[in-house]
Structure 1
Amino acid sequence: MHPSSTQMNRFSSSAASSSTSHPLGSDITVANLHEHSLLTNDLLAEDDPVIQQEILHLIGEYMASIPGPGLPHTLASLKEEMDLRSREEDERESERERLSGRMLDGDWPEAERLLAADPGLVRNPKAFLYKLYRQQFLELIEARESQKAFNLLLRRLKPLEHYQSYPTEFRDLSYLLSARAVSEAGESFDGWKWGGPAEGREELVEVLRGMQMHTTSQDSIGMGVVGRNEGGRGEGGGSSSDATPYVPPNRLMTLLRQAAAWQVYFSRYHPKVLPTIHTLLHDYTPFVLPNQLKDTYKNHSANVKAVAFLGASGTRLISGSSDATLSIVSTTSTPLTGPSRLLGHTSRIWDVDSTESGSFAASASGDGTVRIWETEKEGKCLAVLGGASREGDVYSVRWGRGKNEVVTGGYDKILKLYDVERGQIVKTFTGHTQPVTSTVFGPEGKVLVSGSTDRQIKVWDVSSGVLVHSIASSLGEISSVDIDHKGHHLLVSSKDNSNTLFDLRMFGRQLKRFGTHQNTSRNFIRSKFAHSSLIVGGSEDGLVYLWSQDQSEPLQTLQGHGRGAVYDVVWNDAQQLLASCGEDRTVRTWVWEAEKGEEEGKAQGGDASS
């Protein structure tokens, strides 16, 4: 679905001209729209049977407009089903009239039989049955037939007591057994309109009408409604309740285009070229390209090898350095309430990762260990994994889906899956012939991918430990691997100055190579998926690179780290924030600024400096 430029211009002009008079004011944003009635049932009466009927007609019109095998048959089946429902509703309405008549006549056995025969006469048949028994009970009290009233109360009303109108109603009904008439009960029944059997029965019929199923007659849908005005809403307006409504051509698609245009217009980031919307199941997510330096953190005394957001919220960053320390900083104006520095490693830190909640972090170090940290209170080291069982540096660590599993890779060429709580290895994955430099779990945690300096990419089944697939290509030594959120694509950084995209669904078929940046045998330069369309990565030339999955050349570069390599980058959706770290001993964050993007014309490409 792709709104035309004309449609978008009209929509934008209309929205802009009406912003000052809008009930939400001129500061309308996607964020505050969710706090107002524009996105609630107050705007669209979705429970209205007329709206429900029109939706069915829209579906029918859309189905009738699509050529192809099977659709005419499906449309005919839908029409037949709606006609059947219409006939059933006509019959049900006749039964409701009979039920109303029986209640007005006081023929309670027949009324009860009609309800039992078709519970669909009312929305909640048991709740209505309670009201019907209550009416009988009151009439028996008025007729001074105490024994019959007692039997009805015990056998009929008591099992339905939880449908009472107020918490003490059943108790008050029981009290009436000792009274000669309802009128003698005093204030307990002031709220009950009681003027004898006739008025009570009429009130019960009104209750029936209020509780009946809201369905309307349905004549036809889809075929034949396009272009028809007779009997429907014609050129001069007017309508007929018993005729097929007129559905304008392509009305459903028009409404969906308007919805997509609304999402694009009110998004935070306004693209220079209109996007193509590929899904209706999720709201439009803007294609954000950071173009401005936000913050610089100088908390390390040596180069910073790795950086990660602590949790999905993106309010905190953790970084690992060659000074053997971990640093935690706030990415918002809210000061940190937990630890700011984690100490314990005795050698450089190669990699860091966090649980989804951000409460726990893991760090991989040149001291041969992986340490598990609590990050919200005192920053305690909860476990030390490896050490005696690990030979050489640990280059990579990644959490599994929960907080109890991490996988590591390092100089000893072996992937090790740890149970964090027990501090024990539960599975090993062997097959690489050189050090493992990077590991990553698939989105569901069932697949594990590893990269190595042996230039091999291996895909493992986590539960069995079996090697599923090995990708051998003409790449250089692997410095990082990453999987997109759908689990479809694999991004590989290698020391031949390239980032390469593979399709995991096609047994690792190579799709595209992204270049221009620098990644040689000197450093571990990592690249990652930012969102569904954007790839971000570091480089030895001191720049942060951003690529679109559709283009080999960079969309944008970010200057700010100065001389020396940018080792790692990471993106956070919640904050729309990019973080990077490098040889200059700093961690930097990057955002998109509208004024800078418009001034330099770089919303869709080019260089942006800090």
Structure 2
Amino acid sequence: MAFPLPRPQGLQLPKHLLRTIDCHQGAVRAVRFNADGNYALTCGSDKSLKLWSVSRGTLLKTYTGHGYEVLEADSSYDNSQLCSCSSDKTVIYWDVATGQVTRKLRGHAGKVNCVQFNEEATVILSGSIDGTVRCWDTRSRRMEPIQILDEARDGISSLKVSEHELITGSVDGRVRRYDLRMGQLHVDFIGSPITCICFSRDGQCTLSSSLDSAVRLLDKSTGEMLGEYTGHVNKGYKLDCCLSDKDTHVLSCSEDGHVYYWDLVEGSLTLKLPVGKAVVQSLSFHPTEPRLLTSMEGCVQVWGAEPDDETADSAQ
């Protein structure tokens, strides 16, 4: 891996609370920025998916169609389509503008934990407790997946796709990287059930969190562990982790009501951000700016690098 260049002076992290949004959809299972970072998606235990304006904290649209709680969602590159997954074993492909269900995809044998578009939004990939990843063609009307990946020995908890590569995290404690172009599979054994997986922004590393309260940075090509980040609590919940917009810091949710920031290179704790008294279950870092979304119980918090008088005054 090529570590980031020395950080410029004045690098700032999102640590100022700009607003809190009461989502009115039960527990918020996941929060995600859309492709350009202007909007937020929230997945609720009340079976709804909601689209919010991040700058104003206002609700733009509610999408209903799942039969049970919504667990994750993703936005297409042009923000015209959404996909979501649920405990009802389905994946739904949505039209953003109309709020209508374009297709409801069935085939998983258990709840679907994670879902994502590929970069062209021509394929939806979904991972389930049934141990499979299913690939769905968004351009055809066929209801069957175009490919099923069933190498995992336990449920798929998280997946991410980048260009021709797919990585999955499983309860069997393994990170699997699929080279879809070459038809190759690479497996790294972590040893503890994995709750979240993602690529570094430069595409050279994978970051995974697991139920042993550790976040690990692995070299994508060799599987060598480049860093291990500890201090937070992750023992019983599916919690998110991610990298900052410039790959300088590792972030993780925690069951103690904080978000932890570590310096990627040094491994030292940079910031312990207090969010509340409950479990911080989900987070999402803005694609290009130092902005962060976090979710706790039924609310979403918007964080910025600097206090924003205009938005802070309108906190809900």
Using structure 1 for the length normalisation, give the TM-score: 0.47
- What is the alpha-carbon distance in structure 1 between the residues aligned to residue 124 and residue 214 of structure 2? 28
- Paired residue for 2:238, among 519, 524, 536? 524
Query: Which residue of structure 2 aligns with residue 392 of structure 1?
Result: 110
Corresponding residue pairs, total? 303
SS at match of 1:367: coil
SS at match of 1:364: strand
Kindly indicate whether the alpha-carbon contact (under 8 Å) linking 1:539 and 1:565 is maintained by their aligned counterparts in 2: yes
Query: Which residue of structure 2 aligns with residue 331 of structure 1?
Result: 54
- Paired residue for 1:426, among 143, 146, 157? 146
Kindly indicate whether the alpha-carbon contact (under 8 Å) linking 1:493 and 1:500 is maintained by their aligned counterparts in 2: yes
**Judging changes above 3 Å, is the alpha-carbon distance between structure 1 residues 428 and 463 closer, same or farther for their aligned structure 2 residues?**
farther
Say whether 1:295 aligns with 2:22: no
Identical counterparts, % of pairs: 23
Kindly indicate whether the alpha-carbon contact (under 8 Å) linking 2:28 and 2:42 is maintained by their aligned counterparts in 1: yes
Say whether 1:360 aligns with 2:74: no
1:301 is displaced (CA, Å) by 3.7
Q: Residue 252 of structure 2 aligns to which amino acid in structure 1?
A: G
- What is the alpha-carbon distance in structure 2 between the residues aligned to residue 436 and residue 354 of structure 1? 20
- What is the alpha-carbon distance in structure 2 between the residues aligned to residue 419 and residue 298 of structure 1? 35
SS at match of 1:307: strand
1:285 is displaced (CA, Å) by 9.6
Query: Which residue of structure 1 aligns with residue 71 of structure 2?
Result: 350
- Paired residue for 1:315, among 38, 45, 53? 38
Kindly indicate whether the alpha-carbon contact (under 8 Å) linking 1:536 and 1:545 is maintained by their aligned counterparts in 2: yes
1:398 is displaced (CA, Å) by 1.1
SS at match of 2:24: coil
1:463 is displaced (CA, Å) by 3.5
CA RMSD of aligned residues (A): 2.3
Query: Which residue of structure 2 aligns with residue 304 of structure 1?
Result: 28
- Paired residue for 2:290, among 576, 581, 603? 576
Kindly indicate whether the alpha-carbon contact (under 8 Å) linking 1:514 and 1:552 is maintained by their aligned counterparts in 2: yes
Could you give the per-residue CA deviations for residues 242-295 of structure 1, whole angstroms, max 9, x where no partner exists?
Answer: xxxxxxxxxxxxxxxxxxxxxxxxxxxxxxxxxx9559xxxx696321121111
SS at match of 2:266: coil
SS at match of 2:272: strand
- What is the alpha-carbon distance in structure 2 between the residues aligned to residue 436 and residue 470 of structure 1? 14
Structure of greater relative contact order (alpha carbons < 8 Å, 6+ residues apart)? 2
Query: Which residue of structure 1 aligns with residue 155 of structure 2?
Result: 435
- What is the alpha-carbon distance in structure 2 between the residues aligned to residue 287 and residue 300 of structure 1? 35
1:315 is displaced (CA, Å) by 1.3
Could you give the per-residue CA deviations for residues 440-475 of structure 1, whole angstroms, max 9, x where no partner exists?
Answer: 113xx21111110000111112245442x110133x
Kindly indicate whether the alpha-carbon contact (under 8 Å) linking 1:310 and 1:357 is maintained by their aligned counterparts in 2: no
- What is the alpha-carbon distance in structure 1 between the residues aligned to residue 78 and residue 209 of structure 2? 27
Query: Which residue of structure 1 aligns with residue 312 of structure 2?
Result: none
Query: How does 1:336-485 map onto structure 2 within 5 Å?
Result: 339-375=60-96, 377-386=97-106, 389-422=107-140, 423-442=143-162, 445-463=163-181, 465-467=183-185, 469-474=186-191, 476-485=192-201
- Structure 2 runs not aligned, ≥5 long: 309-316
1:551 is displaced (CA, Å) by 3.0
Kindly indicate whether the alpha-carbon contact (under 8 Å) linking 1:538 and 1:568 is maintained by their aligned counterparts in 2: yes
**Judging changes above 3 Å, is the alpha-carbon distance between structure 1 residues 548 and 587 closer, same or farther for their aligned structure 2 residues?**
same
Q: Residue 533 of structure 1 aligns to which amino acid in structure 2?
A: T
SS at match of 1:437: strand
- What is the alpha-carbon distance in structure 2 between the residues aligned to residue 342 and residue 381 of structure 1? 8
Structure 1 or 2: more helix by fraction: 1
SS at match of 1:293: strand
Q: Residue 190 of structure 2 aligns to which amino acid in structure 1?
A: S
Kindly indicate whether the alpha-carbon contact (under 8 Å) linking 2:17 and 2:307 is maintained by their aligned counterparts in 1: no
**Judging changes above 3 Å, is the alpha-carbon distance between structure 1 residues 295 and 594 closer, same or farther for their aligned structure 2 residues?**
closer
Q: Residue 395 of structure 1 aligns to which amino acid in structure 2?
A: N
Query: Which residue of structure 1 aligns with residue 209 of structure 2?
Result: 493
Kindly indicate whether the alpha-carbon contact (under 8 Å) linking 2:244 and 2:285 is maintained by their aligned counterparts in 1: yes
Q: Residue 103 of structure 2 aligns to which amino acid in structure 1?
A: A
Query: Which residue of structure 2 aligns with residue 588 of structure 1?
Result: 301
1:488 is displaced (CA, Å) by 0.4
Query: Which residue of structure 1 aligns with residue 314 of structure 2?
Result: none
Q: Name which one, 1 or 2, has greater alpha-carbon Rg.
A: 1
- Paired residue for 1:551, among 241, 246, 266? 266
Query: How does 1:120-199 map onto structure 2 within 5 Å?
Result: none
Q: Residue 425 of structure 1 aligns to which amino acid in structure 2?
A: P
- What is the alpha-carbon distance in structure 2 between the residues aligned to residue 285 and residue 424 of structure 1? 52
1:412 is displaced (CA, Å) by 1.1
Query: Which residue of structure 1 aligns with residue 311 of structure 2?
Result: none
492-501 vs 293-302, greater mean Cα deviation: 293-302
Q: Residue 326 of structure 1 aligns to which amino acid in structure 2?
A: L
Kindly indicate whether the alpha-carbon contact (under 8 Å) linking 1:546 and 1:556 is maintained by their aligned counterparts in 2: yes
Could you give the per-residue CA deviations for residues 26-75 of structure 1, whole angstroms, max 9, x where no partner exists?
Answer: xxxxxxxxxxxxxxxxxxxxxxxxxxxxxxxxxxxxxxxxxxxxxxxxxx
Kindly indicate whether the alpha-carbon contact (under 8 Å) linking 2:233 and 2:256 is maintained by their aligned counterparts in 1: yes
- What is the alpha-carbon distance in structure 2 between the residues aligned to residue 543 and residue 402 of structure 1? 35
Structure 1 or 2: more strand by fraction: 2
- What is the alpha-carbon distance in structure 2 between the residues aligned to residue 526 and residue 277 of structure 1? 26
**Judging changes above 3 Å, is the alpha-carbon distance between structure 1 residues 465 and 414 closer, same or farther for their aligned structure 2 residues?**
farther
- What is the alpha-carbon distance in structure 2 between the residues aligned to residue 330 and residue 420 of structure 1? 26
SS at match of 1:555: strand
**Judging changes above 3 Å, is the alpha-carbon distance between structure 1 residues 335 and 518 closer, same or farther for their aligned structure 2 residues?**
closer
Query: How does 1:33-112 map onto structure 2 within 5 Å?
Result: none
1:334 is displaced (CA, Å) by 9.0
Kindly indicate whether the alpha-carbon contact (under 8 Å) linking 1:535 and 1:546 is maintained by their aligned counterparts in 2: yes
**Judging changes above 3 Å, is the alpha-carbon distance between structure 1 residues 465 and 416 closer, same or farther for their aligned structure 2 residues?**
farther
SS at match of 2:99: coil
Using structure 2 for the length normalisation, give the TM-score: 0.89
**Judging changes above 3 Å, is the alpha-carbon distance between structure 1 residues 416 and 585 closer, same or farther for their aligned structure 2 residues?**
same
